[in-house]
Chains A and B, each alone.
Chain A
Amino acid sequence: MVKLASAGVFLALVVIAVLIVVSSGNSGGGDSGNIVEAKEVDGLLAGIPQKGMVLGTPGAKVTVLEFGDLQCPVCKGYSEEVLPQVIENRVRSGKATLDFRNFTIIGPQSKPAGAAAIAAGEQGRGWNFVELFYRNQGTEDSGYADDEFLTAIARAAGVPDLARWNRARRSQAAIARVEATSAEAENLGFTGTPSFALEGPGTDGVEAIGTPESVDTLESAIEHAGK
């Protein structure tokens, strides 16, 4: 009986180990065949106007500029932990707009990824693309952000015309814009991502605030910029 039970336990442990190995193979992110959290992103952004890479009601008092690299894991953290509260409290209420600008510092795929976000923005889905990219981000600069991955993100982000998006993301204009905003970030003195700048009645032009430590720090800076 003991032998039989031991064999049973051994068999069960082997099966559990196989299940865990197969399951963890799914977990690396950057998987174009398994884009997750599209519904959450839709919920986060639903009902908020988008124009280009700007999220929020045009004419809001404060503009929050986010300089990010889609391949940057810290930006992913901000996207998941900090920005949802800012979007709910400041953007949805019409007090501020969020303007995503590429600051490509991670690797060679950052630039085409940024251009792909801009191309999605031309069809009103720029922020869906950015947020969904972050939530499905793969290992930093591992080569996951290829055409297949970008297309899967665009599709899940609800970009209506993928053929138009494909042309736009490869256009010189989109690439040039990524390069221009990266240069702008350097001019503002930024060296890492994400970095933020604010513009409003309480600021002297575009004011760089770097990388806020917490959502409260960012929110109080936005509050101050609006006064």
Chain B
Amino acid sequence: MRAPAEGTLRGIATFLATFGVGVATYIAIADSGGGSPVCIAGGHGCQTVAESSYSHLAGVNIAIFGLAGYVVLLVCALLRGDAFRMTAFVVSLIGFGYSLYLTYLELFTIDAICQWCVASAVLMTLLFVTNAVRMLGYVGTEP
């Protein structure tokens, strides 16, 4: 099966990463103001997740790490070449793996679901799939 055109994959990745930057920025800003993200559908899930001990890594809100990841993915989507194809694949795999772990925590440890975290997990999953296809189909080819 032939991979979709790389330009299409990069376009999809650009779109997804831009959304990711938005979501992570919102969560980071909500936390920095001493509050927590507001669940659009109501409920206290976002507050519970944001106040759990898992929301920070070494004192830093994990949304900041997420934001950094999405920015790297956005840059990699905009640029051509093997280095960016590989970096996008590795970074999105890290994001995807860690999102899986965080979703597991929400479901089974924190017992609360935050829509913003779910949105980020979905975006990161789609980015991983897109970047995996890009890497498998185009690494070693001309930019």
Contact = CB atoms under 8 A, between A and B. Distances in A.
A20 interface: yes
Given A27-B53, A39-B47, A1 B139 contact: yes
Interface range for A: 20 to 34
A122 to B, nearest CB: 27
Nearest to B92: A12
Contacts of B58: 22
A189 to B, nearest CB: 34
Interface string A21-41: 011001101010010111110
Interface stretch (A3-11, A59-67, A112-120, A207-215): A3-11
A144 to B, nearest CB: 13
Nearest to B52: A36
A13 interface: yes
Contacts of B51: 36-40
B38 interface: no
Interface in B96-140: 97-98, 101, 109, 135-136, 139-140
A15 interface: yes
Given A4-B86, A27-B109, A15 B94 contact: yes
Nearest to A37: B51
19 contacts: A4-B139, A12-B91, A12-B94, A13-B97, A15-B94, A16-B101, A19-B94, A19-B98, A22-B58, A23-B57, A26-B54, A26-B56, A26-B57, A27-B53, A31-B53, A37-B48, A38-B51, A40-B48, A40-B51
A29 B54 CA distance: 11
B71 interface: no
Determine chain B's interface SS by DSSP, over half rule. helix
Nearest to A10: B90
Contacts of B57: 19, 22-23, 26
Interface of B: 36, 44, 47-48, 51-54, 56-58, 62, 86, 89-91, 93-94, 97-98, 101, 109, 135-136, 139-140
Interface of A: 1, 4-5, 8-9, 11-13, 15-16, 19-20, 22-23, 26-27, 29, 31, 34, 36-40
Nearest to B109: A27
B97 A12 contact: yes
A11 B54 contact: no
B87 to A, nearest CB: 9
A61 to B, nearest CB: 31
State the 9 A-B residue pairs at the shortest beta-carbon distance, nearest first.
A16-B97, A12-B93, A26-B53, A8-B90, A12-B94, A1-B140, A15-B94, A36-B51, A12-B90
Given A19-B101, A26-B57, 5 more contacts: A1-B139, A5-B89, A23-B62, A36-B51, A36-B52
